[in-house]
Structure formats: C-alpha cells, structure tokens
C-alpha cells in the first residue's frame, strides 16, 4: 500500500478522535476540519470522487424541505446552509473513503486506534490529565459521554472476535468514564443477543444477574440522604430524574433537578411543543431558533439561572432523536423507523459483526448527542448501512 493510502486511512480514522484538538481564532477551528479539508482535496486529485444516488436524494430533500420550512417559519437560512455544508462534506468524504478502501480495512484501523486511545487514557485518568470532571475518564476526547460512545463499537467487535484482552481494556475505560450513555451501551451489548432465541440461554443468566444487581444496588441505597454534592451519585440521578419527569409536560422543574436531567427533560419539553405545532418539521438547523421562541414556557431551577445554564443544549436538543423530530417532524420519525428496521434485520445475521458494532454507537447517539456532524458520525453510519467490501474493488 502506498504512503498516500496509509496516510489517508490513518488520518481519516484518527480524525474521529480529535474533537478536543481545537483553537479559537474568530471561531472554533478543530483539527478534524483541517484533516478533512486536506484529505478531501487529496482524494479529489488522486482518486475519482462520487456521490451515491441515495445520499444525493437525501441531501436534496434536506435542502428543499429546509427552504420551504424556513420560508414558512421565517427563520434564518444561514443555519440551514451551515448544517447542509457540514453534513454534505462529512458524508461524501467518508462515503468515498469507504468505497475506495473498504469497510474491513478502515474498521480494523478504527479498532487499533481506539485500543491505543483507551490504553493511553488510563494513565491520563490517574494523573488527572485532561479530566472533564474529577473522577471521570475522557482521555483525549472532550467529554466522558463522547469517549464512551465512540468506544462501544470497538468493544463489541473485539468481544465478538474473541480478542478478550483488548475488549477488557476498553470495557475498563468505559466504566471509568462513568457515563450514563456508556452504561446504556454496555447494557445493550449484553441484552441485544437475547433477542435471538439461540443465544437466550447463553446470555440470560448474565443479563439477569446484572439487572438484579442494578435493582438491588439502587433500592438498597434509595433511602440514603442525598443532596447536590453528597450521597450516591447514581441513586441521586435516578431519584431526581423520576421526580422531574412531569416537567416533560409542564416545563416546571424541581429546585434540585440535576443538570443532566434538566438538559434532557427541558429539551424533550421543547421538542414535543415544536412537533405538535409543526408535525412536518421546521427545517434542518432550526432547533436553536425554535427553542428561543418557546424558552419562556420553561421554569428552570433557580441555581441553573444563576449559573447561566438554563439553556443547556439549546443548540443540539441534547439528543439526535429529539433534534431530528423537531427539525424534520414526521420525516425524521420515518428515518428513525428505517434505522430500527435495518437494525432488526442486521442482528439476524451472525457474520455482520462490523455493521452490528456500529449500531451501539448510533443508538446512544440518538439518545444523547444532537450534533449533526461530529467527526465519527458518518463513518459509523455508512458502515452500518452498507458493507463496502461486498461489491467494491479497492487497493
């Protein structure tokens, strides 16, 4: 393999782990943008670039739908253009990269880099280097949740490939991240095989033990006194989330609602308001503007007003599911239903380990992260949708 090919493969995959490599000069410049821009030109010069017809249709729909809705709603069109440019460049680039080099080659490089990033993150954690919050691991990533989400496909693939040492290392760092999203992903990795009858007996005992342990742990600590700084953090979050669920319908929050629960519940409240008033959506990139129109309906905890955190995640809805629902309405829900349909079919095939592994990232992405073009999103989405080794010749 030529040096240029090795560079394109390594840099394109490493770019997925560089969200925290940035500097501010007028705007935030990220290393990912630089790598993608340079590599896009290299692919354009050295290789022939193309766009799949389905991707072209989807991007065209986003454009037409966005223009129509922005004309109706009177929002700024610049947000639509910015989102379309980011989505188009990222998706077209990774589509061509996968088309040229194939799924197996690129995913193997992803696994290698994920392992070394995880290995490097352990001493970083204990030496308190680049720690997002005390006691939580995020390695070279900007947040524990992002770190855990990006590690999930590697964990599943290593485990299915019986590379248990590397799987164990990645499992440890996900646990050390103490990310709710990470734990949800781990739970799904255990539970999903149960959906196949032949694996039920094999995994049911493990799943039952983990579930009983979780229930016992929460219930045995339920009556302990907790406040914003003391007490069991997991029990406190479960309690506060349970007591705050009514805010989804009322917009009124308890004074002690934690920031994570508030971020999810407040954006759920805003999203359901947008959806019921605009079932066809309000256009790609419109969430921030629609949020501002409805912000006065929220009654945040006073401490969040003092911390200037009452509009947390107003840019991205805290969840890709919520943002798609708000921006695209019924069309967004159809996209999510298609994802669910593909997922069910995918897990009926034992040999689709790579495609299956990407599912665990995408499902937690729907639950937690609302950005439309983080570095890794389109690579893992395209891996999920298509096995590029099946009908492509590449060097």
Please write the tens of the pLDDT for every residue from 156-169: 999 999 999 999 99
| C-alpha torsion sign, points 130, 134, 136, 142 | negative
Give percent of the chain with pLDDT exceeding 70.
85
**What's the pLDDT tens digit per position in 273-324?**
999 999 999 999 999 999 999 999 998 888 888 888 889 889 999 999 999 9
Distance CA 120, CA 288 (A): 36
pLDDT in tens, 366-388: 988 888 888 899 999 999 999 88
Work out whether the CA dihedral 346, 347, 353, 354 comes out positive or negative: positive
Which residue carries 């599943």 as its tokens? 156
Mean pLDDT of 26-37: 78
DSSP-derived letter for residue 308 is T
pTM of the full structure: 0.84
3-14 and 31-46 helices, crossing angle to 10°: 150
| Separation of alpha carbons 395 and 389, rounded Å | 12
Does residue 244 carry a pLDDT above 80?
A: no
Rounded to whole angstroms, the Cα distance separating 89 from 39 reads 11
């Amino acid at each position: 393999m030529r040096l240029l090919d090795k560079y394109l493969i390594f840099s394109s995959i490493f770019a997925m782990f560089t969200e925290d490599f940035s500097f501010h000069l007028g705007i935030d410049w990220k290393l990912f943008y630089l790598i993608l821009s340079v590599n896009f030109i290299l692919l354009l010069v050295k290789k022939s670039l193309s766009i799949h017809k389905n991707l072209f249709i989807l991007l065209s729909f986003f454009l037409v739908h966005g223009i129509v809705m922005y004309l109706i709603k009177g929002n700024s069109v610049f947000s639509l253009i910015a989102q379309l440019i980011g989505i188009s460049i990222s998706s077209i680039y990774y589509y061509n990269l996968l088309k040229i080099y194939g799924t197996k080659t690129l995913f193997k490089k992803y696994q290698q880099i994920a392992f070394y990033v995880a290995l490097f993150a352990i001493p970083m954690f204990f030496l308190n280097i680049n720690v997002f919050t005390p006691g939580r691991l995020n390695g070279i990533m900007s947040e524990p949740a992002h770190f855990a989400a990006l590690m999930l496909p590697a964990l599943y693939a290593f485990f299915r490939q019986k590379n248990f040492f590397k799987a164990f290392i990645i499992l440890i760092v996900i646990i050390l991240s103490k990310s709710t999203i990470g734990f949800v992903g781990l739970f799904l990795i255990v539970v999903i095989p149960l959906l196949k009858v032949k694996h039920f007996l094999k995994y049911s005992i493990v799943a039952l033990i983990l579930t009983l342990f979780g229930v016992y742990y929460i219930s045995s600590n339920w009556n302990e006194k907790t406040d914003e700084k003391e007490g069991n953090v997991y029990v406190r979050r479960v309690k506060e989330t349970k007591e705050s669920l009514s805010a989804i319908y009322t917009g009124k929050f308890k004074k002690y609602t934690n920031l994570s629960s508030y971020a999810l519940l407040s954006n759920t409240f805003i999203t359901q308001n947008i959806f019921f008033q605009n079932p066809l959506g309000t256009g790609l990139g419109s969430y921030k503007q629609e949020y501002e129109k409805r912000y006065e309906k929220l009654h945040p905890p006073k401490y969040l007003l003092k911390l200037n955190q009452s509009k947390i995640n107003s840019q991205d809805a805290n969840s890709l599911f919520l943002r798609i629902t708000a921006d695209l309405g019924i069309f967004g829900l159809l996209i999510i239903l298609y994802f669910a349909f593909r997922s069910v079919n995918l897990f009926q095939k034992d040999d689709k380990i790579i495609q299956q592994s990407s599912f665990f990232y995408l499902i937690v992405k729907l639950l937690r992260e609302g950005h439309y073009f983080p570095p890794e999103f389109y690579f893992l989405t395209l891996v999920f949708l298509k096995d590029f080794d099946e009908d492509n010749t590449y060097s």
